[in-house]
């Protein structure tokens, strides 16, 4: 018999009841098998596996396409335009790269705008219709992450307030905010605000970049 392991690829595994215990059984039995699991509910996967499969599982976050990958999906390959080991002292390689890329300037700028609008999701290339894409984002992704992921996993007491908070943050995306200002605008106490913000960050629905401000006393 072969000593090689058999690989099982299981998608949306979080919908299976007590999936982590079933995987733990095979792992602890030293069965000749390996499991590659995936699911749309990142928060639920982490929550279910963090205790039962501690030390037995490794997580890998899969993000949307980078802009370079997005260009490749649109048949623009930058690898042939950019030097592998650029000579930064003479600027010759930089000049060559500039002249190679400038020919595609308009296309690159067009796809950059498209990249921002679509978020770099590969599913865009199946749809390629902006109106339908916005419906997909709102109806599918937004509802899935907010209600099936965050609300159900963290037992959120006020889903309507959470949705209002998400829409408010999305409307001022990339802008600075303070907990005080946001709590007053949403009419919510700061502790609840911080808790809900933690839920959103845990599910990767929002990313918060703290602003460093040196102390005036220093």
pLDDT-derived band at 65, boundaries 50, 70, 90: very high
**What is the pLDDT, as a whole number, of residue 69?**
92
**What is the pLDDT, as a whole number, of residue 79?**
73
This prediction has a pTM of 0.64
Average pLDDT, the chain: 82
pLDDT tens digits for 154-174?
A: 888 888 888 888 888 888 888
DSSP annotation string for the chain: ---SPEEEEEESGGGSTTHHHHHHHHHHTT-SEEEEEE-S-HHHHHHHHHHHTTTT----------HHHHHHHTT--GGGTS-SS--TTT-HHHHHHHHHHHTTHHHHHHHHHHHHHHTT-TTHHHH--HHHHHHHIIIIIIHIIIIIIIIHHHT-S-HHHHHHHHHHHHHTTTS---HHHHHHHHT--HHHHHHHHHHHHHTTS----PPP---TT-
Query: Which range, 41-45, 57-61, 73-77, has the best average confidence (pLDDT)?
Result: 73-77
């Amino acid at each position: 018999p072969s000593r090689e392991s058999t690989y099982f690829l299981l998608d949306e595994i979080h919908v299976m009841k007590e999936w982590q215990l079933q995987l733990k059984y095979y792992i602890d039995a030293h069965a000749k098998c390996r499991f590659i699991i995936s699911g749309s509910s990142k928060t639920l996967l982490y929550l279910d596996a963090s205790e039962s499969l501690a030390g037995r599982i490794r997580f890998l976050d899969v993000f949307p396409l980078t802009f370079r990958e997005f260009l490749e999906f649109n048949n623009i390959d930058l690898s042939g335009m950019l030097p592998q080991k650029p000579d930064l002292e003479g600027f010759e390689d930089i000049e060559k790269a500039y002249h190679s890329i400038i020919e595609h300037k308009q296309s690159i700028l067009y796809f950059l705008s498209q990249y921002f609008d679509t978020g770099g999701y590969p599913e865009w290339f199946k749809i390629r219709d902006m109106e339908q894409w916005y419906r997909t984002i709102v109806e599918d992704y937004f509802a899935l992450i907010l209600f099936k992921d965050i609300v159900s996993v963290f037992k959120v007491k006020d889903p309507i307030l959470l949705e209002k908070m998400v829409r408010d943050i999305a409307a001022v995306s990339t802008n600075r905010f303070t907990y005080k200002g946001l709590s007053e605008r949403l009419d919510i106490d700061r502790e609840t605000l911080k808790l809900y913000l933690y839920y959103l960050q845990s599910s990767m629905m929002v990313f918060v970049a703290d602003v460093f401000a040196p102390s005036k006393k220093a």
